[in-house]
Amino acid sequence: MNFSEFEDKIGYHFENQSLLQQAFTHRSYLNENRASGRQHNERLEFLGDAVLELVVTEFLYAKYPDKAEGDLTSYRAALVNTVSISDAATKLGMNEFLLLSRGEAKDTGRARAIILANAFEALIGAIYLDQGYEPAKKFISEQLFYKTDEVVSKGLWQDAKSRFQEIAQDKETVTPSYDVLSQTGPDHDKNFVVGVYLGEKRIATGEGRSKQEAEQDAARKALVAKGW
């Protein structure tokens, strides 16, 4: 796969091309391509996650000198969560360059969002190893920092359930309720489907590997469905 188009898009050209290729290589790809000589991206993801957290922490610390630690922690969580960074990865067209197994390539929705988020963090790790902290910081600032004002002004740093409840009570004077619609899979790999309701009306459904995760997913989708 030719990654030069992607490098042009992000305005960064790698000295070590193998790092860039590794950032896009999912573990599942190697299961079907053992002779490729590639490495998967999980170690780069581990590194990139740490760099991402430091860069965003440094930025928020400087931007909001009067905010308490708890507020800054919440803002950071909103900027670097799976939804936020998978959205950034999608806007960069990273989906077109992922190296996946045939099975993983069929995944959509939350499963693909997680893969994209992991690849985004791996890309940060690759940039850091290739040319250091400042280029990685520049990449992160260009892809994520513009979201900060909206996150703070609209209260997007709150978790989705809290935000949906707050707005529902304000606009419709009703407290949302949640109901498990189904749960499948063995104990170590459960999948929950949860519905969120305003009164008797189901607003959205969400999925997750725990009831709590599915409720958060349902609340996020309900916020979109209601235009909140």
CATH at residue 218: 3.30.160.20
Tokens in use for 83?
């939804």
Q: Are residues 104 and 176 in the same domain?
A: no
pLDDT in tens, 79-95: 898 888 999 999 999 99
Residue 111 and residue 134 in one domain: yes
Range of the domain at 90: 4-153
If asked whether residues 105 and 67 sit together in one domain, one would say yes
pLDDT above 70 for 35: no
The highest-confidence range among 52-56, 70-74, 108-112, by mean pLDDT, is: 52-56
Q: Specify whether 121 is located in the same domain as 176.
A: no
Residues 165 and 144 in one domain: no
User: Under a CB-based contact definition with an 8 Å cutoff, are residues 124 and 132 in contact?
Assistant: no
Residue 49 known to be catalytic: yes
CATH, residue 103: 1.10.1520.10
Residue 109: pLDDT band (50, 70, 90) is low
Residues 175 and 139 in one domain: no
Q: What is the pLDDT of residue 220?
A: 85
Of 100, 134, 153, the position where a domain reaches its end is 153
- Amino acid letter for position 44: L
Q: What tens digit of pLDDT does each residue of 170-203 get?
A: 899 999 999 999 998 887 778 899 999 999 999 9
Q: Which residue has the tokens 């902290």?
A: 133
**Residues 56 and 99 occupy one common structural domain:** yes
Q: Are residues 149 and 164 in the same domain?
A: no
**107 has catalytic annotation:** no
Are residues 11 and 79 both part of a single domain?
yes
- Give the count of domains, the chain: 2
**Which one from 45, 49, 104, 217 is the annotated catalytic residue?**
49
Asked if residue 209 and residue 116 are part of one domain, the reply reads no
Q: Are residues 136 and 170 in the same domain?
A: no
**Range 19-28 average pLDDT:** 93
Residue of 45, 121, 215, 217 marked catalytic:
121
Q: Which of 104, 122, 153 represents a domain boundary (last residue)?
A: 153
Q: Which of 153, 174, 208 is the last residue of a domain?
A: 153
- Do 62 and 133 share a domain, yes or no? yes
